[in-house]
Homo-oligomer: A and B are copies of this chain.
Amino acid sequence: MSILLADIDTGATAWVLISTALVAFMTPGLAFFYGGMVRSKNMLGMLMQNFFAMGLISVIWAAVGFSLAFGGSGQYIGNLDFIFMKDLAKIAELPGYTGDFGLVIPILAFFAYQMMFAVITPALITGATADRMKFSAYAVLIGVWSILVYPIVARWVFSPNGWLFKRGALDFAGGAVVHINAGAAALAVVLVLGKRRGWPRDAMPPHNLPFTMLGTGILWFGWFGFNAGSALGANGLAAQALVNTHLAAASAMLVWLVVEKLRAGHATSLGAASGAVAGLVAITPCAGFVGGASPIIIGAVAGAVCYLCLSLKTKFGFDDSLDVIAVHLVGGIVGAMLLGVFADTAVNSLGADGLFLGGGASLLGDQFIAVVATLVFSFVVTGIAAIAIDRTIGLRVSTEDELIGLDQSQHAETAYQS
């Protein structure tokens, strides 16, 4: 079988392939996590937006996305060397992935793994814009976004050739590239889109919390691939990342529930789900750079901070329907900054030492720059795109369609029947 390469590690390849599958499974998981929280008339609209991302973004990624993110030697953007996967099955190494960063897996496996990240990132936005966005506008928005925003940020942060990577900013599995990036974009779109009719006056309770729990289970499961797969090997680092991932989710869940119990009187299942996800988000940048009890602390901070940030949306009056900003944007920032504190070169010699491990504030500074750069870039470009779409085909469904619900108005379907 001609494409077998001599220096490929089959264990690493097995792990990255299954991690790819796990990350791919997260988008359906996300669909149910969010879908359970909307009203039943918008259920299919939510599922559809997420599944559709799997279709559209994957093809865009193959066509240009990967190449823009990982082609060539530019610091700010890739090139078009790899459009439609050109040469990926043949080349010996990917630009920048040499020496310490050399891959021990087939480049196509790396391509596939990264593709799943590119898919789920814009899908995160659907939680903020729930219940009122036109399907056609959504399709255009995430299409544009996957060319103009995602690959650029991925280049900066993930590629060893990117300027933030070179500066020393660390992001093991996408705290900035995925969560801050999507969270900032969500904020921009929500500001252009406006509030749901009736918000915040009317209660819009979740229509099927079991589906939200199911989604949480799938997300948690998939996140092992998301974070531990980012080791790109089947080794102690992957094991460490997996342990960190799980413990951060666990501790964030506990802290969220405690804070919730104290402030709102009950520990809720939605709180358990939300806390776990907040912890998973926060540990994402840190997963392969921290050790010991750090993941428990990082999760705990994320659980508390994200919970407390839920009220931002009512305070500032933006209708982030399912709290993408409090969970992903805030959680991503918490993780990125705490990495500056807890990073440990004993865990990963390619990382750095954070504030608490004697590394001084320099990593913290780099992390701060990465956070701000990602946030501002994503917010601005997404905002412009959203405004452009709104002025042309319109971002938002009609009032009538919003009242009827997206399932019927956008897709001519009904979720539940006898």
A210 near B10 with CB under 8 A, answer no
* Cα–Cα distance between A220 and B62 once the two chains are bound (Å): 18
**B247 and A17 contact, CB distance less than 8 A:** no
Shortest distance from the beta carbon of A126 to any chain B beta carbon, whole Å: 13
A197 near B: Cβ within 8 Å? Answer: no
Q: Given B48, B115, B257, B417, which contacts A55 in the complex, CB threshold below 8 Å?
A: B257
Pairwise interchain contact B112-A239, C-beta atoms closer than 8 A: yes
Cβ-based interface call for A167 (8 A): no
Interface string of A217-242 (1 = CB under 8 A from B): 11011001100100101111111101
When the two chains form the complex, which single residue of B12, B48, B243, B265 contacts A14, counting CB atoms closer than 8 Å?
B12
How many interface residues does A have (CB within 8 Å)? 119
Task: A105 to B233: give the CA distance in the assembly, Å.
Answer: 13
Is A13 touching B413 in the complex (CB atoms < 8 A)? no
Inside 8 A of A233's CB, which chain B residues have their CB?
1, 4, 10
Indicate if the CB atoms of A59 and B247 lie closer than 8 Å. Answer: yes
**Chain B residues within 8 Å of A246, by CB:** 24, 58, 112, 115
B221 touching A25, Cβ below 8 Å: yes
Is A251 in contact with chain B by the CB < 8 A criterion?
Answer: yes
List A residues 1-58 near B (Cβ within 8 Å): 1-5, 8-15, 17-18, 20-22, 24-25, 27-29, 31-32, 35, 39-41, 43-44, 47-48, 51-52, 54-56, 58
* Chain B residues, Cβ within 8 Å of A21: 22, 221, 224-225, 242
Q: How far is the CB of A284 from chain B (nearest CB, A)?
A: 16
**Shortest beta-carbon distance from A7 to chain B in Å:** 12
Of the candidates B106, B217, B267, the one whose C-beta lies within 8 Å of that of A411 is: B267
State the CA gap A418–B349 with chains docked (Å): 52
Given known A-B contacts A59-B296, A257-B55, A4 and B235 have beta carbons under 8 A apart = yes
Complex interface bits, A293-322 against B, C-beta within 8 A gives 1, otherwise 0:
100100000000000000000000000000
Quick one: which of A1, A40, A214 has the most chain B CB within 10 A? Answer: A1
Query: A236 with B106: in contact, given A14-B14, A247-B59, A412-B265 (CB under 8 Å)?
Result: yes
Q: Which residues 32-91 of A sit at the B interface, judged by CB distance below 8 A?
A: 32, 35, 39-41, 43-44, 47-48, 51-52, 54-56, 58-59, 62, 84-86, 89
Tell whether A206 is near chain B: CB-to-CB under 8 Å.
yes
Contact among B52, B214, B346 for A32, CB-based, below 8 A: B214
Of the listed stretches A270-278, A358-366, A380-388, chain B binds: A270-278
**A9 touching B10 in the complex, CB below 8 Å, given contacts A17-B242, A224-B20:** yes
A–B Cβ pairs within 8 angstroms, 6 of them: A14-B14, A44-B268, A51-B217, A58-B246, A62-B247, A109-B242
The 9 closest A-B pairs by CB, nearest first: A10-B11, A28-B217, A3-B236, A58-B250, A55-B253, A14-B15, A14-B234, A109-B239, A11-B11
